[in-house]
Amino acid sequence: MKYDTFPLTRLRSRLDKAVGQRDGMVNRLKAITVDIDRLVKDEEQLGLVAELFRQMIDQEVTIGIQAVERLLTEGLQAVFDDQDLSVKAVVETSRGKVSVDILTNQRYADGMEVEGLSSDSFGGSVATVQSILLRLIIILRRGLRSLMLLDESLPAFDDNYTINMGRFLSTLCSRLGVDILLVSHNPELVGCADRAYRIVKKDGVAKFELIRSNS
């Protein structure tokens, strides 16, 4: 009795092929499992790093904000010496972005308090002091050239506080090692400057005339 061995050979060939594919898939599965384990560990490490960075950023923001609050409060109290003014910063985080609102607080003798954004709840002079100080903070923290140019930047000041503001700017220059070039039509500020010039017109040409110098 004879048997046809061709179908058996074909089946064996298919079986060997299927076994090879199975072995390949098993090896591939092992490799994928190893990759998944590695990615899981990487994700855990990245999560720890992200948390560390978040804590460092929070600490940096907190320290920076406290310094800003102290400097702005000191500036307001130096200029408006007859008022009880202080500054509080409110830090919020939304969608991974940090926002800061600078709130000004004024306390009255009867215990009443007013708090809000300086541009909304207080006069322009308060906002001017804060704006100048914030710009100085940016200059110093960014390592920029320690020079500030103020071109008619004090128009909102009451005459009672003009001298205080001039003295405060002079104090900032000496304490922080910065130079401030102030252009103003207010003669009251001349006495607070280390050096002051008047622009005069001679023979049709504008020239600087020295009117005060401490050196």
| Mean pLDDT of all residues belonging to the chain | 82
What is the rounded average pLDDT of the residues 69-92? 88
What is the rounded average pLDDT of the residues 27-38? 87
Q: Retrieve residue 140's tokens.
A: 């110093």
Q: Retrieve residue 89's tokens.
A: 């910063």
Q: How far is CA 178 from the centre of its chain?
A: 20
Higher model confidence: residue 78 or residue 59?
78
Choose among 201, 202, 198, 200: nearest CA to 211: 198
Instruction: Fold for 145-215, please state it.
Output: Rossmann fold (3.40.50)
Task: Tell me the whole-structure pTM to 2 decimals.
Answer: 0.65
Give residue 180's pLDDT. Answer: 92
Residue 74 CB neighbours (<10 A):
15
CA distance 119 to 126: 8
3-state helix, strand, coil in the chain (%, to 5): 55, 25, 20
Reported as a pLDDT band with limits 50, 70 and 90, residue 203 is confident
CA distance 75 to 130: 8
| pLDDT tens digit sequence for 46-77 | 777 766 666 655 665 666 778 888 888 999 99
What is the rounded average pLDDT of the residues 39-47? 79
In contact, 175 and 136? CB cutoff 8 Å: no
Give residue 63's pLDDT. Answer: 64
Segments making up each domain of the chain, as ranges: 1-122, 145-215
